[in-house]
Each structure stands twice: as C-alpha cells, then as structure tokens.
Amino acid sequence: MQRGSSVGDAGGAADRVLNQLLTEMDGMNAKKTVFIIGATNRPDIIDPALLRPGRLDQLIYIPLPDEASRLQIFKACLRKSPVARDVDIAVLARYTQGFSGADVNEICQRACKYAIREHIEKEIEVEKKRKEHPEAMDIEDEDDTLVAEIKAAHFEESMKFSRRSVSDADIRKYQAFAQTLQQSRGFGSEFRFPDKPATPNAPQTTAEEDDDLYS
C-alpha cells in the first residue's frame, strides 16, 4: 500500500506542476515580451496540453551536428586547452559522424585527462632523477621544458572509448515524431489566396484595437 501511495503522490505532484505551468503560460501575452523555450530528448512523452496553439506551439527539430558543426564544437571544447601541432581537429570532426555535442565534449575531456596524467608522471620521474643526481643541471632544464599538451596519441587513446549516445533508431524516432506533429497541425497545406479576390470591406478599428499585441 505504501508503494502504491508513493506512486500516486508522485503522479499527483506532476499533474499539479503541469497545471501550474499551463496557468502561467496562458497568463502571458506578447506585451510582456516573454518567450518560453523548452528542450527535450523525449518528445514522445510530452503532455499534449503543452503543444496546443498559444503554448509551445512551434516545433523546431534540431538534428545531430554535421561535420562543420562538430569542428566548431571541438574548437569550443579545446579553446582553453594547449593542443599539440600534431592534432588535426578536422580529422576528428570527420571521423565522429553521428556524434552529439556531448559525445564530442567527452572525447576532449578524456584526452585532456590523459595529457594531465602523462604530465604528472613525467614530473614525478624528473623529481626522482633530481633527487638521485642533484648536481645534474640538465635535469632542471628538462623540467622547465615539460608542457602538458594534448597530443594526437591522447586523442587516439580517447577515441578507443568514444561512443554515440544517440542511436540510428533514436534518430528515426525523433524524425518521425517531428513529421507527425507537423502533419497534425496542417503544416505544408496547399492554401492559396485566389488570384483576383473580391475587395473586402475594410475592418473598422478603434484606438484600443489599433494597439495590437505585436506592436
């Protein structure tokens, strides 16, 4: 009984949150200059009430990044990291077809960890040599030249564990949902005004009506 009660309480709380959200959305108008933007990777479980006209009524399907976009994501993830000259980011972008932005970021983060680990190991080795041979000045010079760069070997090792978080089946599901929702709303209909429409009577507007919602 307690388990069933917990499930019921959770469902009731979710309904109350949804109702509160719908109330807030319905209370807004264009004069408040408020835009409501939602994002999800589970469009199949969105409550239909949220998709009614006047609420979240415009669907924008954002596909996985293409090669040019992945290149920019790699550059953004590595903009503050020292990358060695032997790393060709364009090759990484070309090889990661079907990867999301989060997948690309994971590759960069793992390669960075490998570079830091290697740098620490080298520092430990240099410190060990210095203690064994304190009179050797070349060891100190070697320590000064150590730079924690992310090299091609680090990315090659990182790519061994890379994975796609979005499968082809998921992509097909998202595309089908976007197409179904657009069709249900009549997007792409063949509506056209007639070539020679009859001249309609001009609508009479008042001062209050002239102050429309979009001005």
Residue 89 corresponds to which tokens in the numbers above?
Answer: 């980011």
Give the pair of three-digit tokens for residue 173.
């599901």
Q: Output the tens digit of pLDDT for each of the chain's 215 residues.
A: 455 555 456 567 767 777 777 777 776 665 667 777 888 888 878 887 777 777 776 778 889 999 999 999 999 999 999 999 999 999 999 999 999 999 999 999 999 999 999 999 988 888 888 888 776 655 455 544 556 799 999 999 999 999 999 999 988 888 888 787 766 666 556 777 888 766 666 555 555 555 554 44
Domains observed in the chain = 13-62 (no CATH), 67-168 (1.10.8.60)
pLDDT in tens, 116-163: 999 999 888 888 888 887 766 554 555 445 567 999 999 999 999 999
What pLDDT shows up at residue 215? 47
Distance CA 208, CA 21 (A): 30
Q: Among 87, 149, 74, 85, which residue's Cα sits nearest to residue 112?
A: 149
36: nearest Cα among 57, 20, 19 = 57
* Whether 37 contacts 62, CB under 8 Å: no
How far is Cα 62 from Cα 100, in angstroms, rounded to an integer?
Answer: 11
Contact 146, 123 (CB under 8 A): yes
Q: What is the pLDDT of residue 37?
A: 82
Q: Please give the pLDDT value at position 1.
A: 47
Residue 78 near residue 150 (C-beta atoms within 8 A): yes
Taking alpha carbons only, the member of 28, 59, 34 closest to residue 46 is: 59
